[in-house]
């Protein structure tokens, strides 16, 4: 098995889970600095960049399944057209290149971890499902959707088994970005004006995602399928904050504030995207992967949250 992006947040969890199941794992990383992040026991292979000319030949030797996690997630503030080109180079062209070389190497199956952002940014009264018409709105989501389309073309042309997963926000050991900022905010007991928020959001614990990835990588009936995947326990933003605070043995500090006014202020200060995620709903119906593959999340939201907080404190203690 080959795991691309093995030094990343999700990649490390997938490698750990695969090794625990007795699988032989190769893992790619971008640089010497990231090599040390790949879990012990994984055969490490440097792939400095992803694009339409990346040479995957060494990485694909003897591989029957590819788990494709490597992606471009962040681009500095540039015009949308420049951002889209940057995302496409890695996420679309890079994925297509890997898939075509996988076909040439006689790889049997490729699991592609896409994003729920392919479905859209928010839900109202109805959860997202696999039957929805994709509505990617930003350059990142468009590049992931275009990668899915490229994989479907290769699947029909060359017979490669393709499985696509679209997860929501992932949390757990090594988490970064907005979830890490939320952990810091709760720990510092800074009052946040979110007590009046009434929304629902789906999340997935990184070990649950790793388990789902390996499930669809090996299940006989998942080839050619797209699955939305989550913990299956949707929470409001205030519930999430209270849960994190409880895991930290703290009292959450939230103030009532009109969400409409929060949106207005966020727009004025150029923080609409971050605030929309805190105020809006994004709910996933993950019935399909459970019914078709028998997958059940091995960890509850509460367990995942506690382990995330434990890692967070362990990291702080290690750097003191």
More confident residue, 122 or 79: 122
The one catalytic residue among 112, 140, 205, 312: 140
Residue 121 pLDDT more than 90? Answer: yes
Predicted local confidence at residue 122, as pLDDT: 94
Which region, left, alpha or beta, applies to residue 270 given φ > 0 means left and ψ of -120 to 50 means alpha?
A: left
Query: Residue 86: what pLDDT?
Result: 93
Q: So what CATH class is 2-171+205-231+283-298?
A: alpha beta
The rounded mean pLDDT for the chain is 94
- For the segment 167-195, the average pLDDT, to the nearest whole number, is 93
Residue 148 pLDDT level (bands cut at 50, 70, 90): very high
Copy the structure tokens of residue 281. Answer: 């709903």
Q: Is 140 a catalytic residue?
A: yes
pLDDT of residue 263: 82
Task: Give residue-wise pLDDT tens across range 200-222.
Answer: 999 999 999 999 999 999 999 99
Cα 267 to Cα 66: distance, rounded to the nearest angstrom: 41
Exposed (0-12), middle (13-18) or buried (19+): which is 35, by Cβ within 10 Å?
middle
pLDDT value of residue 81: 65
- Residue 275: the pLDDT is 80
Q: Which residue ranges make up each domain of the chain?
A: 2-171+205-231+283-298
pLDDT of 22 strictly over 90? yes
In Å, what is the CA distance from 177 to each residue of 9, 99, 182, 274, 312? 11, 29, 9, 11, 13
Task: Give me the mean pLDDT over the 305-309 stretch.
Answer: 97
What does the pLDDT read at residue 80? Answer: 63
**Partner residues linked to 29 by β-bridges:** 46
Which SS3 state, helix, strand or coil, does residue 112 take?
strand
Query: CA-CA distance, 279 to 243, in Å (whole number)?
Result: 17
Predicted confidence band of residue 78 (pLDDT cuts 50, 70, 90): low
Share of the chain above pLDDT 70, in %: 98
- Taking residues 73-77, report their average pLDDT: 70
- Residues 90, 147 contacting (CB under 8 angstroms): no
Residue 273 has pLDDT above 80, yes or no: no
Q: Which residues contact 153 (CB under 8 A, 6 or more apart)?
A: none
pLDDT of residue 74: 76
End-to-end, the C-alpha distance of the chain in Å comes to: 38
């Amino acid at each position: 098995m080959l795991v691309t992006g093995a030094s990343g947040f999700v990649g490390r969890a997938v490698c750990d889970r695969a090794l625990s199941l007795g699988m032989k794992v190769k893992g790619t990383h971008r640089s010497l600095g990231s090599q040390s992040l790949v879990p012990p026991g994984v055969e490490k292979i440097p792939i400095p960049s992803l694009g339409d000319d990346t040479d995957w030949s060494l990485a694909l030797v003897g591989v029957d399944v590819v788990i494709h996690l490597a992606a471009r997630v962040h681009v500095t503030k540039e015009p949308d057209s420049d951002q889209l080109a940057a995302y496409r180079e890695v996420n679309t062209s890079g994925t297509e290149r890997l898939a075509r070389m996988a076909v040439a190497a006689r790889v049997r199956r490729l699991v592609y971890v896409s994003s729920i952002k392919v479905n859209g940014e928010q839900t109202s009264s109805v959860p997202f499902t696999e039957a929805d018409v994709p509505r990617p709105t930003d350059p990142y989501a468009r590049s992931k959707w275009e990668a899915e389309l490229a994989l479907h073309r290769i699947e029909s042309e060359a017979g490669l088994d393709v499985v696509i997963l679209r997860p929501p926000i992932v949390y757990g050991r090594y988490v970064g970005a907005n979830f890490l900022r939320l952990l810091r905010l709760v720990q510092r007991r800074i009052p946040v004006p979110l007590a009046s928020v009434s929304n629902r959001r789906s999340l997935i614990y990184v070990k649950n995602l790793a388990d789902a990835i390996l499930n669809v990588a090996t299940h006989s009936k998942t080839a050619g399928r797209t699955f939305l995947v989550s913990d299956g326990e949707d929470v409001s933003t205030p519930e999430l904050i209270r849960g994190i605070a409880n895991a930290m043995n703290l009292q959450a500090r939230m103030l009532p504030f009109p969400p409409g006014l929060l949106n207005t202020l966020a727009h004025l200060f150029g923080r609409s995207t971050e605030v929309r995620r805190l105020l809006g709903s994004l709910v996933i119906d993950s019935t399909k992967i459970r019914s078709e593959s028998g997958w059940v999340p091995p960890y509850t939201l509460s367990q995942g949250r506690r382990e995330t907080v434990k890692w967070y404190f362990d990291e702080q203690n290690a750097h003191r």
